[in-house]
Structure formats: structure tokens, C-alpha cells
Structure 1
């Protein structure tokens, strides 16, 4: 009986001691955990611009006698061990605080984009964590893959191409250098529609028209300054077309007369004036010859000084280039001046002025007719009563 009683009290004592033993064991375990190196916070992912400095921080607590190393995660290339750099002078490591090992990369290159590993040489297995960097690169036009200046025949199909490098990938926008809208056609359509800008690496121009020629700007941007652009000139070749605004001109003798023709052509034309389809007119005291060029248009002007009867006749404006030849015809005649009682508006230069003056004279003569009839009637009545 005494034996059972002793065993009972032994068990009670053992149960009473269990919490104390558990607390003591937990202290031992916690002490072991505290002594093991731990990462204090994640490295994280970061973005930097090319040419600048990249900075990654690895915070370690309870490092003790262990060492910290940095490696490229992709190929396990060792960059540093503690504060000693292994790979390149572009890399450096410093202890920012008692627990943070900083990896610096300067100057940053595009190939530095990727993930980096911070490693602690614990045993039996090493502890590590990874942080990544993204390198932003401003856009750059790839000249080898971008259109140079383009020449095409009218109604040909043309595609302007622009390629650019950069990270993130750049967006390509097309604009006209003269700030005019871009004229585009849908395939199979003759009608144009206008856009202020066009987005895409290729600008398709279906059955190109002379009105589309000019300088285009290919602009590459990816929100990393600066944006870049390239100027591409589109030339559309076509034979000359001559437009004559006034084909019949009249002028009083002794005045200066200006004849005009508009020429549309590309490439540039050779222009000249003929009189009565024989004599080529030259710039001098009698004739003043001039041109005003704008893109593919040329305004030809011929000024005839002191218009005389010998200047009456037919004049031709002739334009020629490597693709063809065209001409326009103008006829010049004399407007006769009438007595000064007429208004100055009745002697203006123009094809219909002389006819208008003759019509007014006819109207004046018809206004005098009723007065003459009245006088004749009075004379007849006098004869009858006498």
C-alpha cells in the first residue's frame, strides 16, 4: 500500500514539473533560432534608367560570423563576397547600416536587367533571397530598318516604315512636318480621309497622290525621355499639268498686262513663254518673267510692259520635265477706251469689258429714240393744220 502511495506522489510531482521543463526547452529553442541569420525584409523589385545607378539592399540580422554574397540569379555569377567585389569595377558593395548590405551598379547598362541573389553561407544549406531590377532605355531610331527618302510614281502603292529600339518598346507615331493632316485612302477607294496622326511602325499609302507628297515625321516615344524622330520625304513623280485661270484677256494700250499660268509637276520643270507659237520670250525691258514655287506647284507670270498693238496675239506657257510636257494658251486683245464721261469701271481689263461698254452705248442710243419720234410727230401735226 505504501508503495502505491509513493508512486502516486511521484506522478503528481512529475506533472507539476512539466510546465517548467517546457519553458526551459522553449528558451533553448528560441535561443538557437535567434542565433541563426535571418533576412529582415525582402529586396523587392526596382526600376532604374540606363546610365544611372542601381541600388539593391539586403538586410540581414544575426549574421554573426557568416558572410553575405551577391550573385546574378540567372547564371549564378558571383559579384561580391561581403564588401569585396569579385566581378567588375562597375559593381560595389557597402554596409549601409549594421545590417544592410547594398549592391550598387554604376553606370547601369541594358544587359544589367534581371534578378540578383543575396546569399548567406549558412550550413547545411545556404539562405538566399532574390530581388530584380528593370532597366528603362529611351527610344532610338533603327536607321537600317527605317525608310530613307522615297520617290514613287503617282498611283503607285507606297509604305513608309519606321523601327525603333528601347525599353519599354516605343510607340511609333506619324505626323506631317507642315502640320497638315495626313491624307489616307482605304484599299479600293478613291476618296481620301484625313487624320492628324497615324500610329504604327508602317504607314501604308494606297495609290499615292501628288497631294500626299511632303515631309513625314516618324516619332518614337516610350515615356522615357527624350522622344526621338526621323524625317522621311515622300516625292511623287508625275508629268506637268498646266492650268490657265484666264484664257482671254483684254487691256487698253499703254498699260502693263500680267499673264498667269499654274503648273503642277514633279520633278521640277523647265518653263518658258511663246508668242504666236514661234517667238520664245526672254526676260528684259519689254517682258518681265517670274515664277513662284510651292511644293509641286509653280505660278508662271509674264508681264508685258507698255502694251501696244504689236503685242496683240496668242501666248503659250510651256512646262516640261523628264516625264512629259504640257502647255496652256492665252489670247490677248485691245480694249478701246471711250470718252471720259464713262466711268473708270467701264475700262477694266477683262474679256467681257469691251462688250459691256458696247452694250451700254447701245442702251444710251435706244434711250434717245422716243425723243426723236416725238419731234417727228409734232412736225407732221403742224403741216396738217397749216
Structure 2
């Protein structure tokens, strides 16, 4: 006589409330074996070949992560036993719950439908589920496959970076989601300095052309020999059809030496106020120095003022004298290099007097021609 271990129902059914006992093999052991054969290894014809009076359950249930999934199984009055299984585990057998997962609940148990619900679906809930039905004739099965969709999420992205012009830069953006999200990079409007905008454009036209990729569909965005025009914010976007895109931004700072696009000479009369200006585009922002011939000018000496405002430097003469006229040199400096330009301060009054003298000379010559013409007419 053989000794075996069986699980007897605590309240007339099979479920998590069973208790373990040891003894001779009774008829209940045969019942449990029959249930396991029926529910754990369901027999019957493949899905799609069932009889017309037992429609199969839905093929796929697509649900977003965190939402609820309802698995429905259509039955009829000829059903004697019914159960829901997940792979090799019984979730429900009739009204008895076998699953220890509190998220799995029965929602419909009628003569026409046997349905369960999984609350707050997660990715590990994805997979096949089987509705196994015992009829008067033989078992039937119908399968459902849960597909879990996950919104896109960027999990790793490059930090903002500062590089020198001409360096190689690689930006990384890794994202997860189901289905797998598409990752794209986009270069937003670069912050070109207003002072050097026209000058930088003309300089870039003379320089070797560099292809700027404004839109890249890849997790990695590689920039070879980066230029000042490629500085600014880069936007990474991860998108799938589940929800709106997850968007993050990275700032790329491109350091380059000063460039002074143009300056204007200034004419001021003696005794008036005169201002020489010098603008330079550079990253990091430049410092400025002013020279007259070989002599460096200092702020506050000899009635002048040197003031810096961002990328602009102003040399102010509060009371221009004859000695102030001449050529001045502006030097812009940062850690990557220097640039200089010349600015002329000239006597505007002298120019005006010269123009008046020239105008008077032309008037006298014109009168002389008129007199000669009249004399010529009277002679004939």
C-alpha cells in the first residue's frame, strides 16, 4: 500500500486555502490529478478548430503599462468545469482562486462568459493565457496573448559639454519602451553672438564648408570637427505610438578665439565727446585692450574712460583735443587667442571746413565761366 501527499480543500474547493495531509491515497487524489490534467495540461483541438457553439476568446489583448486587462472567455450551458491558466499556473478554477497575486480577480462567472481581470498590468504579465473548459464531451481550450505597451522613457543622456572648436563630439541618448521607441536628435537654433553675426557668416563662407546635420535618427549623434555654428542646444526625443514623446535637452558650448568683424572710424570736433567702439565674437567672452601707437591706454587717465559691455568695448573721450586725434588699436583676448583692429579718431571740424572751402572754390569758378560766356555773346 503506497503513501502519498495530497492537498485537500479547506472549504470544498482547491485553492490557496488548502491544507497538507499525509495518508493513504483516497479518491480526492484522483480528483486533483484529473484537475491538473484538465487545467495544467489542457487538451483539445487547437484554437480556431473548436465547435461553433464554443467561440474562442480574443487572440490578443493590448494594454498600456499600469492599466487593467480583462480576459474574456465565452462559454455555454454544456460546460461542467472552467479555468484560467497562465503558462503552467492555474489562476482561477471556477470560483476558486489559485493565484496568489492580489491583482488577479474574477469579474464574470456566468453561463455565457467566464472572465478575469489583471489590475495594473506590468511587463512581466505579458504572455499567453489559456481558458480551459470541460464540456460533456471533451475539454476545449482558447488562448489569449497579453501585449503590454510601455511609454517611451529616456534613461540615459549625455551631460552638457564644453569643447573647443574643431573637436569631435558624441552625444548619447538611450531610451526604453514597448514597442522600442525611435530616438531622434535635433539641433535647436544656435546662439550666434549679435555683434559678430554678419562677420561670422562672411568668415564661414570663406572657410571650408562643414555639413550640419539638423536631424539625426539614432541613439548616438556624432559631430566631427565641430564649428561655432553648431553650438547651442540639442534636443533628444524618444517616441513610440503609446504616448507622447519623452524629450530631453543637452547644451553644447563651442569655445573659439575672438573675431572682430568690422569697426567704424569716428569724426569728432575739438571740445566734443567722442566714443570709439570695438565689438568681438568669442567664447568664452573676450577681454579688451586699447592702444595708441605702442602705448596702452588705461581707464581714467588723460580724460578717457574704457568700459566693457558684454562683447563690446567703448573708449570714450569726454573733451577731445588735437592730441587725441589719430589711429587706435583694439585688441580682443580670450584663452584661445587674440584679434585686433584699427579705429581712426579724426577731426570732423577740419573735414567740414575743407568741404566749405572746396564749395566756395567751385562757386567762384562757376561765376568766372558765366562772365566769359556773356562776354563771348556780346563780342559777336
TM-score w.r.t. the length of structure 1 is 0.68
Partner secondary structure for residue 254 of structure 1: coil
Corresponding position of 2:84: 70
User: Does the C-alpha gap of structure 1 residues 108 and 272 become closer, same or farther in structure 2, counting only changes over 3 Å?
Assistant: farther
**How far apart are 1:157 and its partner, in Å?**
2.9
- More off after superposition, 37-46 vs 249-258: 37-46
Is 1:213 the equivalent of 2:245? Answer: no
User: Does the C-alpha gap of structure 1 residues 203 and 98 become closer, same or farther in structure 2, counting only changes over 3 Å?
Assistant: same
Larger helix share, 1 or 2:
1
Q: Deviations for 1:54-94, whole angstroms, at most 9, x for unmatched residues?
A: 1110112135442x222223xx2322222314230111123
CA contact (8 A) 2:79 2:135 kept: no
CA contact (8 A) 1:244 1:329 kept: no
**How far apart are 1:216 and its partner, in Å?**
0.9
Aligned pairs (5 A) from 1:1-386: 39-66=54-81, 68-73=82-87, 76-83=88-95, 84-95=97-108, 97-121=110-134, 126-143=139-156, 146-178=157-189, 190-192=208-210, 197-246=215-264, 248-282=265-299, 286-287=304-305, 289-292=307-310, 298-336=311-349, 354=351, 358=354, 361-369=357-365, 371=367
User: Does the C-alpha gap of structure 1 residues 128 and 274 become closer, same or farther in structure 2, counting only changes over 3 Å?
Assistant: same
CA contact (8 A) 1:170 1:221 kept: yes
User: Does the C-alpha gap of structure 1 residues 96 and 254 become closer, same or farther in structure 2, counting only changes over 3 Å?
Assistant: farther
Q: Which has the larger radius of gyration?
A: 1
CA contact (8 A) 2:168 2:225 kept: yes
Q: Deviations for 1:209-235, whole angstroms, at most 9, x for unmatched residues?
A: 111101111111112223211111112
User: Does the C-alpha gap of structure 1 residues 368 and 200 become closer, same or farther in structure 2, counting only changes over 3 Å?
Assistant: same
Any stretches of 5+ residues in structure 2 without a counterpart? Answer: 1-50, 192-206, 375-380
CA RMSD after TM alignment? 3.5
Partner secondary structure for residue 333 of structure 1: strand
Partner secondary structure for residue 307 of structure 1: coil
Structure 1 Cα separation of the partners of residues 84 and 372 of structure 2:
130
**How far apart are 1:336 and its partner, in Å?**
1.6
Q: Count residues in correspondence.
A: 308
**How far apart are 1:48 and its partner, in Å?**
0.9
Corresponding position of 1:23: none
User: Does the C-alpha gap of structure 1 residues 283 and 82 become closer, same or farther in structure 2, counting only changes over 3 Å?
Assistant: farther
CA contact (8 A) 2:77 2:111 kept: no
Structure 2 Cα separation of the partners of residues 163 and 79 of structure 1:
37
Structure 2 Cα separation of the partners of residues 275 and 370 of structure 1:
44
User: Does the C-alpha gap of structure 1 residues 95 and 274 become closer, same or farther in structure 2, counting only changes over 3 Å?
Assistant: same
TM-score w.r.t. the length of structure 2 is 0.69
Structure 2 Cα separation of the partners of residues 78 and 169 of structure 1:
31
